[in-house]
Structure 1
Amino acid sequence: MTGAKLVLMRHGQSLGNEANLFTGWNDLDLSANGHEEARRAGRLMRHHGFRFDAAHSSMLKRTIHTLHHCLDELDQSWLPEYRSWRLNERHYGALQGLNKDDTIARYGREQVQQWRRSFDVTPPAVKPDSPRHPGNDPRYASIPRCDLPCAESLAMTMKRVLPYWQDTLLPALRQGRSLLVVTHGTVMRALISHLDGLSPEETQTLEIPTGTPLVYEMDDTGNPEQSHYLEPSDIILGDTPPPF
């Protein structure tokens, strides 16, 4: 039972990316460019003949809308979809919604860089009674409040993401099922770090492009054999993708 593929993809450019914000769990949509990035990624996967058995996303609209664009372009909108808070972006705590340049001006570049990219430094937390705490958002009502973050480091995000890999994604891959997972930059760092056996130092320097599929070819035990990004091609950037 071989040939399963895992495609990981960061959502298309969001309004938060466009405005240079700490977005985190703030539920901002895609920018106009992000919508096109998502459609282009779907056309690219269709051009290469990708067929999936299931699709996964976070509970934030920028991944859900990216996924739907991809499935529309793939002509696979009928696929079962699964959403999980464990695939949400890193929670940036009290930084969420702030402009990154303004935050640098207030706290200094070194401090902000530590909050953004160090492995185990946590940004300032939101208060449990804050409207910005996920425990006060109805979409997370079924999740124990003690599991929901007030702020996360990269290490904490990895700890939150890996149970979804172990309990949901890996068993499906071991059954030979190919999966499309649309998520966020920090979540992709966590998954890539685990799959590729990276050190904390290597993990925190990973740069993850928006709207670009990362393909893992899996063996029958669910271990990666090779991986590569699908690079855009002039052949498939037009409005009419070639048929399967």
Structure 2
Amino acid sequence: METNYLVLVRHGQSAWNQKNLFTGWKDPGLTELGKEEAFKAGQHIKKQNIKFNLLFTSALKRAQDTASIILEVIEESNINIFKNEALNERDYGDLTGLNKDMARQEFGEEQVQIWRRSYSDGPPNGESLEDTYNRVIPYFENEIMPALQKNKNVIISAHGNSLRALVKFIEEISKEEIVKLEIATGEPIFYEFNEKKLQRKLNW
């Protein structure tokens, strides 16, 4: 049976990441380091010699710019790109724009950690990881999985939390264990799709 691939990439460092601010649905661009991280991700993907057919990304500039850099590096700039806010970072609500250290001082280290890492508890007027999961997964099932089932090779350029939600779904990670998962920048996650299942390629 033919094997095809899904690759997940977290965007490179944004200007607000650099300032240690909660970003959420705000739309800062990439820093120079962020562009280097995207380039590094592209180089890693290029080494695998996979011909890609589709790229899905969020409605936010930092993920789209990361995607553009990767496609340039892998010389696939003409493939179809789909942008949708379903793949956006989680909305941090009242924390958006706050410095993370200042937020810890104001609300307490424990409370901020709960907001950032628990599955079901989100900040005031914002989304939990569960909320993010509940918009990412229907989009994945309805728009991305059918492409994989048609033997298409797919890249998703998105965000730490939207990708955590996706990894939780694909790898059937529990609510308790998902809080420990971090998605690194510049380090693509590769999955093989065969026999109607996705399996992570750990040796790439």
In the superposition, the TM-score normalised over structure 2's length comes to 0.96
Percent of pairs identical after alignment?
40
Paired residues in the alignment total 204
1:66-81 correspondence to structure 2 within 5 Å: 66-81=66-81
Deviation at 1:74, TM superposition (A): 0.6
Secondary structure of the equivalent of 1:124? coil
Secondary structure of the equivalent of 1:6? strand
Structure 2 match to 1:87 = 87
Structure 1 match to 2:56 = 56
Structure 1 match to 2:115 = 115
User: Hey, what's the Cα distance between the residues in 1 that align with 2:56 and 2:199?
Assistant: 22
User: Hey, what's the Cα distance between the residues in 2 that align with 1:51 and 1:24?
Assistant: 32
Question: Which ranges in structure 2 are unaligned for 5 or more consecutive residues?
Answer: none
Structure 2 match to 1:167 = 142
1:194 corresponds, among 166, 169, 175, to: 169
User: Hey, what's the Cα distance between the residues in 2 that align with 1:107 and 1:181?
Assistant: 34
Secondary structure of the equivalent of 1:217? strand
- 1:177 and 2:146 equivalent? no
- 1:213 and 2:193 equivalent? no
**Alignment check: 8 A CA contact 1:176 1:220 kept:** no
Deviating above 2 A after TM superposition, structure 1's stretches of 4 or more consecutive aligned residues are: 225-230
**Alignment check: 8 A CA contact 1:7 1:215 kept:** yes
Question: Which ranges in structure 1 are unaligned for 5 or more consecutive residues?
Answer: 126-150, 231-244
**Quick one: which amino acid aligns to residue 21 of structure 1?**
L
**Alignment check: 8 A CA contact 2:94 2:124 kept:** yes
Deviation string 1:175-225 (CA, Å, 9 cap, x unpaired) is 11010000000011111111111100111110110121100011142x113
Q: Please say which structure displays the higher CA radius of gyration.
A: 1
C-alpha RMSD of matched pairs (Å)? 1.2
In the superposition, the TM-score normalised over structure 1's length comes to 0.81
**Alignment check: 8 A CA contact 2:9 2:41 kept:** no
